[in-house]
Amino acid sequence: MAELREECGVFGIYDPKGKCADLTYYALVALQHRGQDGSGIAVNNDGDITHYKDLGLVNEVFDAERLAELKGTMAVGHVRYSTRNASAKFNIRENVQPLVLRYVKGNLAIAHNGSLVGTDSLRKELERSGAIFQTTTDTELIAYAIAKKRLEAGSVQGAVKEAMKVLKGAYCLLVMSPQKLIAARDPWGLRPLCMGRKGDAIVFASESCAFDSIDAEYIREIDPGEIVIVEKGTITSIRDHCTDSSSLCIFEHIYFARPDSNIAGQNVYEARKKSGMLLAQQCPVEADVVIGVPDSGIGAAAGYAEQSGIKYENGFIKNRYIGRTFIKPDQESREIAVKMKLNPLKSLLDGKRVIMVDDSIVRGTTCGQIIKMLRDVGVKEVHVKISSPLFLYPCYFGTDIPSTDELIATNHSVDEICKMIGADSLDFLSMENLHKICENSACGFCDGCFTGKYPVDVSE
């Protein structure tokens, strides 16, 4: 139960049979875990782009009537989480994607997942030439970067290629022009993006679980730096920005991605299980039972149990209906909020020595409350195993983390944290083991949040 949240999921489809809006809707529901603040779909009906979007979950924004109005043979969709410290100021209707716009060559719809760095200078330069910004998203910057180069580049994919020369940081783009559907991924491959097929339809998604949900077949990743163009069913690729190295956010496997997604040949659940197995080797402890904190700690807990031979139990029951439940802003209600989400099973845990596996510790407050709940049902010992290293540095690529001084690990030793959360012992996955959890992946990784070393210059 990490206290982190990520920034957005994207889906795109070219379908000559034209069931685009429905399939996009179903796929966005599968990607909902990547963003719950806003949702949108733009469709392309013979060159004419229409759209609908609003704040809210996919099934709050769209109903049968809305979907029926969105006719076309191409579509891009988006689920949004508003990072930037979740300020209400950024969670506004104007920011919901896809961004639909008119530029020198007609209409364009752009859906974006990621976070750029060095945008201040890019924005300033655009503003000096007369640009106006109606949102606070990077997507609008990307749109300008493409629009500026369109005439000169001679094609929309050419303009995307030119734009990518000035864009730094994480971006997975789906760009829909009157005739084309284009997928592009930053040269560092910081966020995932893959391609699939369903009959004659070509699909793109942030995660492969979206393909499973609509019964589409996974084909491959979009390579870091690659631009894939779908036009009238033909797929072409521009690889000018591709290099040999790549730096996928390692937190996708630890926490963000759905366990049933595969990224660069590595299943997410398997990676989590592996992290648990490595933890069991790295820091064994005597105990009666292993439990995972739902949902993201489950896989690692199963791995820990398998490796250690200690019994695995479904120790927590999670309330599936918690949704947007209003919680009063008093202390008692905030404590109730955690109890409403999770309930430990006394019959399984009472009197036991428990190994509790979770994905990360950010501020430490939730973890402390959960441990208290375990003590309340009679747990004798709580040994906390964290399936990632100490979270020490900011992320510049789309993970919404608190400011560094709120990170418990930047200010306290492991022993101190252990005492603060009330555990009997506490261990974090070592950096060495971290690199083993995805060692069969066909990509490299960014571990900047643990090391402070980033693949892109973040000095601005």
Within residues 184-223, the interface with a copy of itself by CB under 8 A covers 209, 212-215
Nearer CB in complex with a copy of itself: 232/320: 320
- Determine if 270 is a binding residue for a copy of itself (CB under 8 A): yes
246 binds a copy of itself (CB under 8 A): no
Residue 116 or residue 190: which is nearer to a copy of itself going by CB? 116
CB of 279 to a copy of itself, least distance (A): 17
Determine which one of 8, 283, 418, 449 is catalytic: 8
The residue type found at 81 is: Y
Q: For residues 270 and 424, which CB has a smaller minimum distance to a copy of itself in the complex?
A: 270
Task: Look up tokens 């040949």; give the residue.
Answer: 265
Asked if 116 and 168 count as a contact pair (C-beta separation under 8 A), the reply is: yes
Task: Kindly identify the residues of this chain, within the stretch 91-130, that bind a copy of itself according to CB under 8 A.
Answer: 93-94, 99-104, 108, 124, 127-130
Q: What is the 3-state secondary structure (H, E, C) of 282-350?
A: HCCCCCCEEEECCCCCHHHHHHHHHHHCCEECCCEEECCCCCCCCCCCCHHHHHHHHHHHEEECHHHHC
Using CB under 8 A as the binding rule, the residues of this chain from 336 to 365 that contact a copy of itself are: 336, 339-340, 343-348
The 22-61 site mask, x for binding a copy of itself (CB under 8 A), equals: x--xx--xx-xx--x-------------x------xxx--
CA 460, CA 457: separation in Å to the nearest integer? 8
Q: Residue 386 CB, nearest distance to a copy of itself (Å)? A: 19
- Check: CB of residue 87 under 8 Å from CB of residue 134: no
380: its two tokens: 């004798």
- CA pair distance 35, 111, nearest whole angstrom: 13
**Residues 382-411, interacting with a copy of itself (CB under 8 A):** none
Query: Could you say which residues in the range 131-150 bind a copy of itself, by CB under 8 A?
Result: 131-134, 136, 140, 143-144, 147-150
- Residue 309 binding a copy of itself, by CB under 8 A: no
Among 229, 298, 300, 371, binds a copy of itself (CB under 8 A): 298
> Whole-angstrom Cα distance, residue 56 to residue 79?
9
Q: Are 205 and 171 in contact (CB under 8 A)?
A: no
In the complex with a copy of itself, the residue whose CB is nearer, 148 or 168, is: 148
Task: Return the number of the residue (239 or 375) whose C-beta is nearest a copy of itself.
Answer: 375
- Identity (one letter) of the amino acid at 329? P
Is the Cβ of residue 27 or residue 418 nearer to a copy of itself in the bound state? 27
**DSSP strand pairing (99-103 vs 106-117):** antiparallel
Select 113 or 247, whichever has its Cβ closest to a copy of itself: 113
Least distance CB 332 / a copy of itself (angstroms): 8
Residue 313 interacts with a copy of itself (CB under 8 A)? Answer: yes
Q: Is 8 a catalytic residue?
A: yes
Question: Least separation, in Å, of the C-beta of 336 and a copy of itself?
Answer: 5
Q: Which stretch binds a copy of itself (CB under 8 A): 70-78, 314-322, 386-394, 452-460?
A: 314-322
What DSSP assignment string belongs to 41-63?
Answer: EEEEETTEEEEEEEES-HHHH--
Alpha carbon distance 274, 300 (integer Å): 7
Distance CA 20, CA 14 (A): 7
Number of residues this chain uses to bind a copy of itself (CB under 8 A): 87
**CA separation, residue 204 to residues 27, 38, 162, 208, 326 (Å):** 10, 19, 22, 9, 35
Among 312, 396, 397, 454, binds a copy of itself (CB under 8 A): 312
Which sequence positions are flagged as catalytic? 8
